[in-house]
Structure 1
Amino acid sequence: MRCAGAVWAFLGLAPLLVMSVPPIWTQPEQVHLSYTGVPGSMVVTWTTFNKTESVVEYGFVGGRPFEMSSKGDATLFVDSGKEKRRMFIHRVTLRGLKPTAAYVYHCGSDGGWSDVFYFTALNDSSSFSPRFALYGDLGNENPQSLARLQKETQQGMYDVILHIGDFAYDMDEDNARIGDEFMRQIQSIAAYVPYMTCPGNHENAYNFSNYRNRFSMPGNTESLWYSWNLGSAHIISLSTEVYFYLKFGLELLFRQYEWLKKDLEEANRPENRAQRPWIITMGHRPMYCSDDDQDDCTRFDSYVRLGRTDTKPPAPGLEDLFYRYGVDVELWAHEHTYERLWPVYGDKVYNGSFEQPYVNPKAPVHIITGSAGCRERTDRFNPNPKGWSAFRSTDYGYSRMQVFNATHLYLEQVSDDQDGKVIDSIWVVKEKHGVSAWL
Structure 2
Amino acid sequence: MLSVVTVGLLLSLAPLFVLCVPPIWTQPEQVHLSYPGFPGSMEITWTTFNETDESVVEYGLWGGQVFEFTAKGNTTLFVDGGSEKRKMYIHRVTLNDLRPAAAYVYHCGSKAGWSDVFAFTALNKSSSWSPRFAIYGDMGNENPQSLARLQKDTQVGMYDAILHVGDFAYDMDEDNGRIGDEFMRQIESIAAYVPYMTCPGNHESAYNFSNYKNRFSMPGRTEGLWYSWNVGSAHIISLSTEIYFFLDYGLDLIFKQYDWLKKDLEEANRPENRAERPWIITMGHRPMYCSDNDKDDCTTFQSYVRLGRNDTNPPAPGLEDLLYLHGVDLELWAHEHTYERLWPVYGYKVFNGSVDEPYVNPRAPVHIITGSAGCREKHDPFVPNPRDWSAFRSTDYGYTRMQVSNSTHLYLEQVSDDQFGKVIDSIWVVKEKHGFSSWF
TM-score, with length taken from structure 2? 0.95
> Which letter maps to 1:208?
F
> Which letter maps to 2:51?
K
- Following superposition of structure 1 onto structure 2, how do residues 335-414 of structure 1 map, counting pairs within 5 Å? 335-414=336-415
Q: Bigger shift: 298-307 or 227-236? A: 298-307
- Following superposition of structure 1 onto structure 2, how do residues 17-32 of structure 1 map, counting pairs within 5 Å? 23-32=23-32
1:40 matched to 2:53? The reply is no
**CA distance in structure 2 between the aligned counterparts of 1:235 and 1:272, rounded to whole angstroms:** 13
Q: Which residue of 2 aligns with 1:278?
A: 279
> Which letter maps to 2:272?
E
CA displacement 1:155-182 (0-9 Å, x = unmatched): 0000000000000000000000000000
The SS at the match of 1:40 is coil
The SS at the match of 1:321 is helix
Q: What is the total number of aligned residue pairs between the two structures?
A: 424
CA displacement 1:19-56 (0-9 Å, x = unmatched): 99954411000000000110000000000011111000
- Following superposition of structure 1 onto structure 2, how do residues 290-305 of structure 1 map, counting pairs within 5 Å? 290-299=291-300, 301-305=302-306
**CA distance in structure 2 between the aligned counterparts of 1:34 and 1:113, rounded to whole angstroms:** 20
CA displacement 1:235-282 (0-9 Å, x = unmatched): 000000000000000001100000000000000000000000000000
- Following superposition of structure 1 onto structure 2, how do residues 253-272 of structure 1 map, counting pairs within 5 Å? 253-272=254-273
> Which letter maps to 1:43?
E
**CA distance in structure 2 between the aligned counterparts of 1:222 and 1:162, rounded to whole angstroms:** 17
Cα distance change of structure 1 residues 321 and 299 upon mapping to structure 2, 3 Å threshold = closer
**CA distance in structure 1 between the aligned counterparts of 2:271 and 2:51, rounded to whole angstroms:** 48
**CA distance in structure 1 between the aligned counterparts of 2:23 and 2:420, rounded to whole angstroms:** 38
Q: Which residue of 1 aligns with 2:159?
A: 158
1:193 matched to 2:194? The reply is yes
**CA distance in structure 2 between the aligned counterparts of 1:145 and 1:20, rounded to whole angstroms:** 39
Q: Which residue of 2 aligns with 1:57?
A: 58
Q: Which residue of 2 aligns with 1:142?
A: 143
Q: Which residue of 2 aligns with 1:239?
A: 240
Q: Which residue of 2 aligns with 1:126?
A: 127
Cα distance change of structure 1 residues 363 and 299 upon mapping to structure 2, 3 Å threshold = closer
Q: Bigger shift: 292-301 or 258-267? A: 292-301
Q: Which residue of 1 aligns with 2:214?
A: 213
**CA distance in structure 2 between the aligned counterparts of 1:27 and 1:302, rounded to whole angstroms:** 46
| Cα displacement (A) at 1:68 | 0.3
Q: Which residue of 1 aligns with 2:7?
A: none
| Cα displacement (A) at 1:301 | 2.4
**CA distance in structure 2 between the aligned counterparts of 1:303 and 1:396, rounded to whole angstroms:** 27
Q: Which residue of 2 aligns with 1:332?
A: 333
Q: Which residue of 2 aligns with 1:203?
A: 204
The SS at the match of 1:287 is coil
Q: Which residue of 1 aligns with 2:94?
A: 93
> Which letter maps to 1:47?
T
Q: Which residue of 2 aligns with 1:5?
A: none
Cα distance change of structure 1 residues 294 and 58 upon mapping to structure 2, 3 Å threshold = same
> Alignment RMSD, CA only?
1.4
The SS at the match of 2:176 is helix
Cα distance change of structure 1 residues 364 and 113 upon mapping to structure 2, 3 Å threshold = same
1:249 matched to 2:240? The reply is no
The SS at the match of 1:358 is coil
- Structure 1, unmatched stretches of 5+, are 1-15
**CA distance in structure 1 between the aligned counterparts of 2:422 and 2:188, rounded to whole angstroms:** 25
**CA distance in structure 1 between the aligned counterparts of 2:413 and 2:187, rounded to whole angstroms:** 22
CA displacement 1:291-323 (0-9 Å, x = unmatched): 111111114521010000000100000000000
Cα distance change of structure 1 residues 299 and 266 upon mapping to structure 2, 3 Å threshold = closer
Q: Which residue of 1 aligns with 2:320?
A: 319
**CA distance in structure 2 between the aligned counterparts of 1:380 and 1:257, rounded to whole angstroms:** 32
* Percent of aligned positions that are identical: 81
> Which letter maps to 1:74?
T
The SS at the match of 2:299 is coil
**CA distance in structure 1 between the aligned counterparts of 2:46 and 2:320, rounded to whole angstroms:** 36
The SS at the match of 1:339 is strand
> Which letter maps to 2:174?
E
Cα distance change of structure 1 residues 399 and 19 upon mapping to structure 2, 3 Å threshold = farther
Q: Which residue of 1 aligns with 2:9?
A: none
The SS at the match of 2:275 is helix
> Which letter maps to 2:358?
P
Q: Which residue of 2 aligns with 1:8?
A: none
Q: Which residue of 1 aligns with 2:170?
A: 169
**CA distance in structure 2 between the aligned counterparts of 1:413 and 1:360, rounded to whole angstroms:** 21
**CA distance in structure 1 between the aligned counterparts of 2:222 and 2:392, rounded to whole angstroms:** 35
